Amino acid sequence: MAREAVRGLCSNCEKETTLEPMTEEQEITVRKEPIKVGLKLYRCSECGDEVLDIKEAQDPFDLAYREYRRRHGLLQPEEIREWRKARGLTQNELAGLVGLGAATLTRYENGSLQDASHDKLLRLAMDPSNLLKFVEGSEGVLPETKREALMRVLRSEQADSCNLENAIVVSVANYEADEYSGYRTLDLPKFYNAVLFLCKDGVVKTKLNKLLFYADFRHFKKHTLSITGARYARIPFGPAPNDYAVYYAAMRSLRLIEFVEEEYPNGYVGEVIKAEQNPDLNLFDGQELLTLASVKTDFEKHTATYVTRISHEELGYQETENGGLISYEYALRLKH
């Protein structure tokens, strides 16, 4: 239905006047992608100033984020919120189950643009079988009576659902050995146990992502093969395993690791990952163990901020566009 002129108060000339409807197109760049949005405005017949349609309560960035999510198949904020409420979960409870920070989930529900790997993680949790895995592997996150009741409901719904590990293999780990995997297919047991080795005493998630990157890329530099077959993507905080949130969630559901939020003096809240089991080092050959040990030793005394900074110096990071996969060919030119 076409909008009609209305009588209203102009915020510029502060006169009650006739406001004529109009639409203004703006272009907003979201993650390097230009997105055009149409804002509904009114033009004051007295002074010519443009006034936002208050009833629409439009935020151009919100409109752009919504269009970006639509194009890339990401969940909209209300989809996350309504699903969570339908399951009877609070924001803190859902965040605790899937291994996200509570503040991160709150931002996503309030309209912040989510990380693609976090979106996949939330979509996995929406499957009853996967959510059941999360609940079973997260004792203490929910009150016991609520936990038991939710598990009963989920068990009755899971007949046609796939389990979490199968969902991971289908959705994010089903790729061929190539230059982006270090010429190996993903070896999940090796990846899991490399994580356990590197976070035995607890390590900030941001730093862990870089340790895995350096372990795989250093090994490729010396032996022309990666250790785990993991792919690494360029994200704002440096190189990280592609879809890392999904892998860590699987490890958490298997009770291999736990997530702990730690607050630092500067107010920053970091997500620390701690191993709950000892790594099976028999999965690695001698050269792979030497690489893992050298990476752990070299960066042991350095902060996540330092490791992030030096990872930004790597040519593979600098020459890969945001969100893109980093070729292992750059391993030959590693600086650290």
pLDDT digits (tens, 9 = 90+) for 108-129: 999 999 998 899 899 989 988 8
Cross-strand bridge partners of residue 43: 20, 50
Q: Is the dihedral of CA 195, 198, 202, 205 positive or negative?
A: negative
pLDDT value at position 299? 97
pLDDT value at position 162? 47
- Give the pLDDT band of residue 317 (cuts 50, 70, 90): very high
Region of 245 on the Ramachandran plot (φ > 0 left; ψ -120 to 50 alpha; else beta): alpha
Q: Torsion over CA of 152, 157, 162 and 163, rounded to 10 degrees?
A: -10
In order of their start, the domains of the chain are 6-72 (3.10.20), 77-169 (no CATH), 177-333 (no CATH)
DSSP summary character for residue 225: S
Q: How far apart are CA 21 and CA 23, in angstroms?
A: 7
Residue 295 above 90 pLDDT?
A: yes
Residue 275 above 50 pLDDT?
A: yes
Query: Over the chain, what is the mean pLDDT?
Result: 87
H/E run at residue 85: helix 77-86
